[in-house]
Amino acid sequence: MPTPKDEEWRYTNLKINFENLILEKKIDMKITSKNATTKELSKIVNDKMIAEFFGKSGFSETDKITNFAESVWSDGVFAEIEKDGTIEIKFSPQSNQATRSLIVVRPNARARIFEYLESSSASFFANNTEIIAMENSHIDYFILQKFFSADNFVLKRAICDRNARIDWHFGYFGGNMSRLKIETVFSGEGSSSENYGVFSGKEGQHFDITTLAHHKAPHTSNNILTKGVLKEKSTSVYRGLIKIEKEAQKTDSYLGDHTLLLSEKALANSIPSLKIDANDVRATHGATVGQVDKEQLFYLMSKGLDEQEAETLLVQGFLEPVVAKFNDESFKKIIQKNIEERILNEN
């Protein structure tokens, strides 16, 4: 199993005893949809209907937890959207569970997918999801994670065909140890993505977030922006990678991550990187880790706010540019409510 000596786990220490880990075969999940075909994946995994898609994305061979989940999952979600549809997926594990999902969005279709991860009792949860975005399709994928204490490992990988687009929106608030990987593969010319996310940690929580933009075709574009707030003894590591193949000329790709520390005991690590083999591209990144600006805090307090109110206002202002990018009002309100409950009201 991975240790901090492994590059991908340098800042994350697994404390799970996998030899004694017992996984429940019955998955606690609920699927609702409109204008979409949805089924339990275990019931059709051998069906010819999904043979051409299942495993097409090729999950990371180097990530042992991903491969572990891929070998032991017992059920999950299959979804197919042919025109314009909406899917809501709720995983509410009451025990240790490993899940697998496959989502196919047909050419010219528009999909809105909402995924909620909530539990007060599970100690281990894993999910691997592959998304096939076919030609000219457009996907909005929303993720809310608010586990009470579960160590959770979530991988989302999307393959975008010609002129396909996927926009990611995520809010991560719960769990003892939370590992999220979002990988977008631009396999078709003109494909694009935007990725906006927020996370918050308190007490001894740890967040391990990775975003990968893999450009394989020309004229593709990508924009990633992640912001986090850490308090007390919480910690985080963000890994961002833009990878541009030689054939992916005229690519425009950006990633940014910024973390605000509300405690001297909080710790954030940022590892942005670029791997570029093409010579006619635009690829940049930006990263910051810092504490609340004392001058701004003093200014707000001079206007009559106490220190807690002033700090709360600064946190809101720090996260709002990302939350404003979430293009669903109901999901945006859920995120704002969680920010208030888990960050602002406890400062």
For residue 309, the 8-state DSSP code is: H
Instruction: Specify the pLDDT at position 345.
Output: 60
Report residues of the chain scoring pLDDT below 50.
347
Query: Rounded to an integer, what distance in angstroms lies between the CA atom of residue 269 and that of residue 289?
Result: 8
**pLDDT tens-place string over residues 39-61:** 999 999 888 878 889 888 776 56
- The closest alpha carbon to 193, from 238, 135, 140, 240, belongs to 140
Instruction: Specify the pLDDT at position 259.
Output: 97
Instruction: Specify the pLDDT at position 347.
Output: 43
Instruction: Specify the pLDDT at position 297.
Output: 82
Give domain limits for the chain: 7-292
**pLDDT tens-place string over residues 320-334:** 999 999 999 999 999
Sort 72 into a burial class: Cβ within 10 Å, 0-12 / 13-18 / 19+. middle
Determine contact, residues 167/327, Cβ cutoff 8 Å: yes
Instruction: Specify the pLDDT at position 344.
Output: 63
Determine contact, residues 120/94, Cβ cutoff 8 Å: no
